[in-house]
Chains A and B, each alone.
Chain A
Amino acid sequence: MAARLEGKHAVITGAGSGMGRAMAELFAAEGARVLCADISGQQDDVARSLGNGGVPFQVDVSVSADVQRMIAAAEEAFGRIDILVNNAGIAQMPVPMHEHPEELFDQIIAVNLKSVFLGMKYGIASMLKTGGGAVVNTASAAGLTAWKGTTSYSAAKAGVIQLSKVAAVDYAEHNIRVNAICPGYVWTSILPGMGDTRVPPEGTPNPPGAPMERWALAEEIAAAALFLASDEASFVTGTAFPVDGGYVAV
């Protein structure tokens, strides 16, 4: 079997850990060269480990100049961008809306929503020069259903879904597909206390309300991103695809 991303060039944000790291590893294993972007510094190790010409890049995805430099760096390294995964994001601890700090709201919207706008604005501009590509945005099941106490996070992720749909119709005629993945509970280090182990340690309670009664592993989100980014999904655009153990089916 041919590798599923042979000859493709990808930019993945939040690639230093969690879902982004799993995507970088899987995409590279399927033949892609990957620019691993993150703010944490961990992107250096991930890029080095890929063994397929991975390129690390430090970025604050909420800063326009950073995002523009990231896209330029990918063009410089690869000559083109075929795949963009806007995956970087941060979480918030649940808090009732009337107690939700305004500063937190601004921060979450900047990192989780404006970042996706910036990534697409400059990533799509690049793809238009080379004939098209595929964008995958990491949204959340929290963008499809209400998660108690997640005012800014849920609003940002719902915004990511709608940005994805509008971009899908805006650029369908230019051979650019845009889809969103809506993960449910994923075992990553996005919240304090979850640690950065690849699988939940023995005795970790299962997440509430997920019919499958277990955490998703980052690799399972990466597999969905691989499908959506690959040419196998060439007729799939504008979808908000749940990878959530049945959470939003309820």
Chain B
Amino acid sequence: MRLEGKIAVITGGGSGMGKAMAQIFSAEGAKLVLADISGKQDEVAAAINEAASASGANEVRAVAVHANVSDEADVQAMIKAAEDNFGRLDILCNNAGFGGPMAALADQSLEDWNRVHDTNIKGAFLGMKYGIQSMLKTGGGAIVNTTSASGVVGWKHHSIYGAAKAGVNQLTKTGALDYSDQNIRINAIAPGTMWTGLVEASQTHAEPPDDFPMLAGIPLGRWGLAKDIAYAALYLASDEAAYVTGVILPVDGGYSIGFSGMGAERPGIVSVNEGET
């Protein structure tokens, strides 16, 4: 198995991409601390432990913790949960995030700036700060941050969110350089248009219904699914990616390649309201 014996913390582990990471990491042998603010991390962890127990495992494979990733004490407790329950931290996925309202820049509020930046960038900073401190005690590890294509290219009406995610990209690169000689790799995944909480219909449909309108400008012509991101996270978190650090990997169906030329539709973003990404 690709993560045999590894200990991972996943934020936003209660739903969407974080839940998919939890399921795939667990199937590949990792033990998990699932952190979320929603409460849904409890059932994800319970399902993993039930499945493990049904297949004869006599140990806890997943621990759920309540965490607001912008709260320093919560983040410290989340990292400590990995050390207390499993003895160490090998993998940290700073995945929790949300989009905030879509609006032109001058119509955005300072309140939303603070909320979006607290979760998306301060959360990633705190996770890395305390996750790295833990990894340094045991000889290294791998961090995977969930950023966004909107932090790489411009997305109309996503000024606050895009700025936060661009910041996460730079935290990723700088962190990678700071710890490249201490066996800690830091990378980010940049999802594009995801079929997760951001799109309301995804709450009731695991995959997009056939008649659901497709977004313009996605070369691969479909929504991103949580498992698409989770498999990229698996690769980056595993020892297979031992020479990969400081990378922002787009998993976006080709979105961030750019405008696809004459006759192609310009990328556009479906009008949605706030939700998790």
B232 at the interface (CB under 8 A from A): yes
Q: A232, B235: Cβ atoms under 8 Å?
A: yes
Please, how many angstroms separate the alpha-carbon atoms of A235 and B257 in the complex? 13
Q: A237, B241: Cβ atoms under 8 Å?
A: no
Which A43-78 residues sit within 8 Å CB-CB of chain B?
none
Shortest A198–chain B CB gap in Å is 15
Q: B253, A235: Cβ atoms under 8 Å?
A: yes
A232 — which chain B residues lie within 8 A by C-beta?
231-232, 234-235
Q: B257, A223: Cβ atoms under 8 Å?
A: no
Please, how many angstroms separate the alpha-carbon atoms of A226 and B234 in the complex? 13
Which A2-26 residues sit within 8 Å CB-CB of chain B?
none
User: How many positions in chain A have a CB within 8 Å of any CB in the partner chain?
Assistant: 36
Contact of A249 among B243, B247, B254, B256 (CB under 8 A): B247
Contact of A223 among B240, B253, B261 (CB under 8 A): B240
Closest chain A residue, CB of each to CB of B245: A246
Q: A243, B243: Cβ atoms under 8 Å?
A: yes
Shortest B126–chain A CB gap in Å is 21
Q: A212, B180: Cβ atoms under 8 Å?
A: yes
Q: B228, A227: Cβ atoms under 8 Å?
A: no
Contact of B244 among A169, A224, A226, A235 (CB under 8 A): A224
Of the candidates B176, B244, B247, B251, the one having the most CB atoms from chain A within 10 angstroms of its own CB is: B244
A165 at the interface (CB under 8 A from B): yes
Q: A235, B221: Cβ atoms under 8 Å?
A: no
B131 at the interface (CB under 8 A from A): no
B221 — which chain A residues lie within 8 A by C-beta?
172-173
- Chain B 161-196 against A: per-residue CB contact (8 Å), 1 yes, 0 no? 000000000000100110011000000000000000
Q: B245, A165: Cβ atoms under 8 Å?
A: no
Please, how many angstroms separate the alpha-carbon atoms of A233 and B241 in the complex? 14
Contact of A243 among B2, B176, B244 (CB under 8 A): B244
Please, how many angstroms separate the alpha-carbon atoms of A250 and B180 in the complex? 11
Shortest B33–chain A CB gap in Å is 23
Of the candidates B224, B243, B260, the one having the most CB atoms from chain A within 10 angstroms of its own CB is: B243
- Interface of A (DSSP majority class): mixed
Please, how many angstroms separate the alpha-carbon atoms of A64 and B225 in the complex? 39
Please, how many angstroms separate the alpha-carbon atoms of A236 and B191 in the complex? 10
Shortest A173–chain B CB gap in Å is 6
Please, how many angstroms separate the alpha-carbon atoms of A172 and B177 in the complex? 34
B123 at the interface (CB under 8 A from A): no
Q: A249, B232: Cβ atoms under 8 Å?
A: no
B28 — which chain A residues lie within 8 A by C-beta?
1
Q: B219, A173: Cβ atoms under 8 Å?
A: yes
A236 — which chain B residues lie within 8 A by C-beta?
228, 232, 249-251
B252 at the interface (CB under 8 A from A): yes
Closest chain A residue, CB of each to CB of B183: A212
A216 at the interface (CB under 8 A from B): yes
Closest chain A residue, CB of each to CB of B259: A169
Q: A246, B250: Cβ atoms under 8 Å?
A: no
B54 at the interface (CB under 8 A from A): no
Please, how many angstroms separate the alpha-carbon atoms of A226 and B221 in the complex? 23
A227 — which chain B residues lie within 8 A by C-beta?
231-232, 235, 240
Q: A1, B1: Cβ atoms under 8 Å?
A: yes
Q: A168, B257: Cβ atoms under 8 Å?
A: yes
Q: B240, A169: Cβ atoms under 8 Å?
A: no
B100 at the interface (CB under 8 A from A): no
Q: Do A233 and B180 form a contact, CB below 8 Å, given A173-B219, A223-B241?
A: no
Q: A234, B243: Cβ atoms under 8 Å?
A: no
Q: A244, B243: Cβ atoms under 8 Å?
A: yes
Contact of B219 among A168, A223, A245 (CB under 8 A): A168
Pick the 9 closest A-B CB pairs, nearest first: A249-B246, A172-B219, A211-B180, A232-B231, A238-B257, A235-B228, A223-B240, A249-B173, A220-B243
Q: Can you show 18 pairs from A to B with CB atoms below 8 A apart?
A: A168-B254, A168-B257, A169-B254, A169-B260, A211-B176, A211-B177, A212-B181, A212-B243, A224-B235, A235-B252, A236-B228, A236-B249, A237-B219, A246-B176, A246-B245, A246-B246, A248-B246, A249-B245
